[in-house]
A and B are shown apart, each in its own frame.
Chain A
């Protein structure tokens, strides 16, 4: 193997960096759709059940991530474009991305959402007042307000298990090592090596890493993926984005608009002395 370009490190900004940044590498090419991750997550974290309903969308009755589903296995049935025989199965276990620039954390007005010492993004449920801003801010639609409870919930990357040196429940339960947990830098190396393997195999031509690049719209994910098709096919945004400078330019526009209001008002009042 020739030495490639320097691998991205997905480093957190200095003021947020604690110890080693831990995360997930979800390799969808070996996912078998068993949903053990969904079950293990619910069991360990005491996540309430969702009303069972047949969706008709392949084997997926969870549908998407939310307050009560912190892991979600997507099932995509694809007829190949070249009319070669058969249906192609794409399965992938989705999870909170624990973004480098996390929109939910940045917009949270109470400080309930924080960056842990593992570089993960966690909601403190004793602080959250259910304002719902994170729900609309998340570029992936992950975090959600629990209806009967009022507060927002999402994957904690098993903060409690990490604290005692254990791995998250979903990674532990995954029978094919599709979900891998570890220091992000090591996972990135594994992922790039795995990508080369998958690309060389039939059907792997379009394989790519999703969220493993620090120059993407959210500065890379703490939980990134190897996907076999475009992100939107799995229900993921093709180019998620959250940038602080957008907030600055928006306030700039709002200031100009505020002055325009005052100007219009002054014009309407028409000074007389």
Chain B
């Protein structure tokens, strides 16, 4: 750069830096995701639907039928939106059925696609059986199937991220499922606080609080495990998203507790819990971009 405003360049600056380079012109080594905005949003819709389906069957078993049905219908909505998001992200959307062409145990995306397909079908059949007035046992069986697949759907997306070459996702691969589980539980509680039946309010509130606590504890554990690799969760866009998420998460827990007396605060807290869970997926996704844009994260994580 030419000397501007009287400032002088240091004399005899070598054209080529003398120190040993740690990268090739600072270019990334592994790739950014090719995915579009639909994918982190699906991590949220699928996760929330999964936790809601588990809520549905447990509520039914504990005799809270109105809440069970409400949770199941919300889960069904999530199960309908999710595949649409995933298909529109594909490079060749017309070939979406190729996802069910093989079962590949080494591919979390393959197992996840089968899980989502089974989950959606079970919920759809449960709804149809309910509407058709079939015996409760039929509805209950279908609900049970969705309730088993639900908790897997809530956090397999963390396995999907962990099974990549992205240094920040890979290094946090054993803790991210706990973060996603907690967040899905909080979001399911949030959805029920927002639009669930009155009888389910105490349960919904506790779901938000327990979920938030699990999510935040797991996230802290993951950050401390990552060490210097956690930087993308503290700086840049990933850092901003993570900070807003943390604030929203705790705010939602406080609001739903305060909502014991005020339904308005309860609904507000529920809405924030949902938004916070969506933000978490965005933060994790965006931090992954930062972790590959600077190749030093990868080189440092792979040792000297």
Contacts and interface: CB of A to CB of B under 8 A. Distances in A.
Contacts of B27: 57, 63-64, 235
Nearest to A133: B109
A106 interface: yes
> Top 8 nearest A-B pairs by Cβ distance?
A130-B91, A150-B91, A235-B24, A129-B95, A258-B151, A268-B206, A109-B110, A132-B34
A95 B59 CA distance: 55
Contacts of A137: 163-165
B108 A232 contact: no
A203 B99 CA distance: 51
B46 interface: no
Interface residues of A, number: 78
Interface string A131-148: 111011111110011100
Interface string A235-246: 111111110101
Contacts of B14: 79
B80 interface: no
Contacts of A266: 58
A265 B54 contact: yes
A176 B133 CA distance: 78
Contact of A111 (B34, B55, B102, B304): B102
Contacts of A78: 16, 21
A108 interface: yes
Which of A136, A236, A271 has the most CB atoms of chain B within a 10 A radius of its CB? A136
B113 interface: yes
Contacts of B177: 250, 253-254, 256-258
A142 B203 CA distance: 49
Interface in B249-293: 288, 292
B229 interface: no
25 contacts: A81-B18, A81-B20, A107-B107, A107-B163, A107-B164, A111-B102, A111-B104, A129-B92, A129-B98, A132-B33, A135-B31, A137-B163, A137-B164, A138-B165, A139-B165, A140-B30, A141-B165, A141-B292, A232-B21, A235-B25, A235-B295, A250-B108, A253-B159, A253-B177, A265-B210
A241 B29 CA distance: 13
A25 B165 CA distance: 24
Nearest to B165: A139
Given A76-B21, A109-B107, A132-B91, A264 B211 contact: yes
B191 interface: no
B140 interface: no
A262 B50 CA distance: 11
A260 B164 contact: no
Contacts of A146: 91
Interface size class on chain B is 35 or more
Contacts of A140: 29-30, 165
Contacts of A242: 165
Contact of B18 (A79, A112, A136, A254): A79
A127 interface: yes
A267 B62 CA distance: 12
A66 to B, nearest CB: 8
A258 B154 contact: yes
Contacts of B304: 238
B162 interface: yes
A71 interface: no
B144 interface: no
A267 B109 CA distance: 31
Contacts of A34: none
B126 interface: no
